[in-house]
Chain A
Amino acid sequence: MQFISYLINGISLGSVYAIIALGYTMVYGIAKMLNFAHGDVIMVGGYMVFIFMVNLGLPAIVSIVLAMAVCTVLGIVIETVAYRPLRGAPSLAVLITAIGVSYLLQNLALLIWGSTPKSFTSVVNMEPLRLAGGQLVITGESIVTIGVCIVVMVGLSLFINRTRMGRAMLAVSEDKGAAQLMGVNVNGTIMLTFAIGSALAAVAGALLCSSYPMLLPTTGSMPGIKAFVAAVFGGIGSVPGAMLGGILLGIIETLSKAYISTQLSDAIVFSVLIIVLLVKPTGILGKKISEKV
């Protein structure tokens, strides 16, 4: 019974990773860049929900929607100011810029909100579910997180495959030049991708801080990196892959915390990345990309 409860916790944590990983994988698929600042957008989302909900006393749903709006704007600003000028530049330059943006967000947050952790009030107001005569308790946060993850996943898949804008995203990720020739607005599509990714980051921030109610300027960085691991694990560029990778990684982390060692759980998670890259560099659901000379 204890194992099942760990498993559910793992799936819940993994759902948060999956939502974050979606942002990574979409941006990577389309802009071919690793957006290091994604994890810090999560942190900004967390602080925004905190401000709207605790300081201004707004209802949870409204706070999350407002935080999503703020993060969307933030994502668009980051893309326009920092990443767009570097389109076509070597990947090393883009990567270093992304690290710079990540650091900028963290240190701005540090200046604005200070280094004392804020205790986050859960956005979920739901009684825990008791099963098997009270032996198995599933928290409201877990249920909501898993539910949100499924909704986001289905919604995003429909959006990408069924709408014009979604298909434009697919076209840009396949071949930027050809997409432009077919009349796709490439810059607009990339901006849209950042906007969606950042809005999802705000959701992830609210859910993450509800389950682990400690808000710090560095809150986002570790989950961000782990979500990237999840995206690679599932196959970068693939939406179902991000979902699968996120949930598997969440389970691995929770189980290794429970049965092996709390201190070493991060090391185990990162070892997964290395093993995946050694054995199947394209990830579980990734496509093989042949290299052009």
Chain B
Amino acid sequence: MGLKNLGRTSRKNLVTYLIAVLAFVILEGMVLTGNISNMLEGQLVPICAYVIAAVSLNLTVGILGELSLGHAGFMSVGAFAGALFSVSMEDTITVTWLRFVLALIIGAVAAGAMGVLIGIPVLRLQGDYLAIVTLAFGEIIKNVLNAVYLGVDENGLHFSMKDSIALGLSENGKVLIKGAQGIVGTPRDSTFIWGFALVMLTLFIVLNLIKSRTGRAVMSIRDNRIAAESVGINITKYKMIAFSLSAALAGVAGVLYAHSFSSLVASKFDYNLSIQILVFVVLGGIGSIRGSMIAAAVLTVLPEMLRSFSEYRMLVYAIVLIVMMIFNQSPKMVEWRKRVFAGRLKGAGHNAAKKGGA
């Protein structure tokens, strides 16, 4: 079967995969030949984690059409669940890849379950309310994880919200989560190859979901909720599928991130990180999976390379957000662009602009 026989979407998706593979080959080549700065090499796994997070957030923002401001919260659930598993199983399971795969599954399931739990109240709401509730959930998760102490000894698990002494561990006991200090001593199991594989897996899941019947149902809810409901689409079910899948993938990103550093703190996954991921999504184009991937990678690497510029990074992000929104979504600008480009412009951001507010 030739390339021409593929549909338009399939060809577009193929390009997305190819970009990811190409970036991986170039970067891995640089690593193998030693032509890479230490700084960039240290950033490779976090970049993959950010790409996964951005692609998964785009599932909520671009495909489902709802703004989530608590994406970092799901990452943190995944990160803590995965890291907790790896720390406690470090001596039991010595096969690194097996331990990491299990950690990934546990992280994804934990974050996905949290997504379902949060989705039940949240998905009844829309628009601004949904945004603020996801923000609230992100903060709750951060605050609770910051206050949790968990230890283990021969009598089993000990749990406290006070401090590590209150755990009452025996002499052989081991503190697993130390409140605000988080989890220390996570085995550094994630490698760039793992990161790349997970990026590909995420792309595969999300791109196929969009193309499927389920994906079309989700997008129809985004475009016109009432019309979708009237043709028999179960709004809650499809919203829940998209939202919890997005959460589970964020969990995967969290596990990947957690295993590239030896210590993990909850305060890393704050509101700022959620916004940063949102910036990746908006800059890459809402609804464009390829755009999210590229934006996440470029925007993580660029500030690292332009150190002197880093002071202004967040400022520039903010301006970019505002300008992009006004340029893409302002009714007057949309009209103006239509006149000037006369239908030539049909970017992904424009498609998302048609989202009908109910």
Chain A positions near chain B (C-beta within 8 angstroms): 28, 33-34, 82, 85-97, 99-104, 106-108, 110-111, 221, 225, 228-229, 232, 261, 263-264, 266-267, 270-271, 273-274, 277-278, 281, 291, 293
Contacts and interface: CB of A to CB of B under 8 A. Distances in A.
28 contacts: A28-B128, A82-B326, A85-B333, A86-B325, A86-B326, A88-B331, A89-B353, A92-B61, A92-B355, A93-B329, A99-B275, A99-B321, A104-B318, A104-B322, A106-B318, A111-B312, A225-B132, A225-B135, A232-B129, A232-B132, A264-B147, A274-B136, A277-B125, A277-B129, A277-B133, A281-B129, A291-B358, A293-B226
Contacts of B65: 92
B315 interface: yes
Contacts of A221: 271
A85 B125 contact: no
A273 to B, nearest CB: 5
Contact of A278 (B121, B315, B321): B121
B136 A92 contact: no
* Chain B interface size range: 35 or more
Contacts of A91: 127-128, 357
Given A82-B322, A277-B125, A90 B315 contact: no
A96 B67 contact: yes
A189 to B, nearest CB: 20
A90 B355 contact: yes
Contact of A89 (B144, B226, B329): B329
A85 B327 CA distance: 9
B275 A103 contact: yes
Contacts of A266: 139-140, 143
A64 B101 CA distance: 58
A274 B144 contact: no
B278 interface: yes
Nearest to B334: A89
A96 B278 contact: yes
Contacts of B278: 96, 99
A92 B330 contact: no
Nearest to B66: A92
B253 interface: no
A128 B352 CA distance: 57
Interface in B320-358: 320-322, 325-326, 328-333, 352-353, 355-358
Contact of B321 (A96, A111, A270): A96
A103 B321 contact: yes
Contacts of B125: 277, 281
Q: Pick the most buried of A92, A103, A221: most chain B CB atoms within 10 A of its CB.
A: A92
B263 to A, nearest CB: 19
A264 B180 CA distance: 12
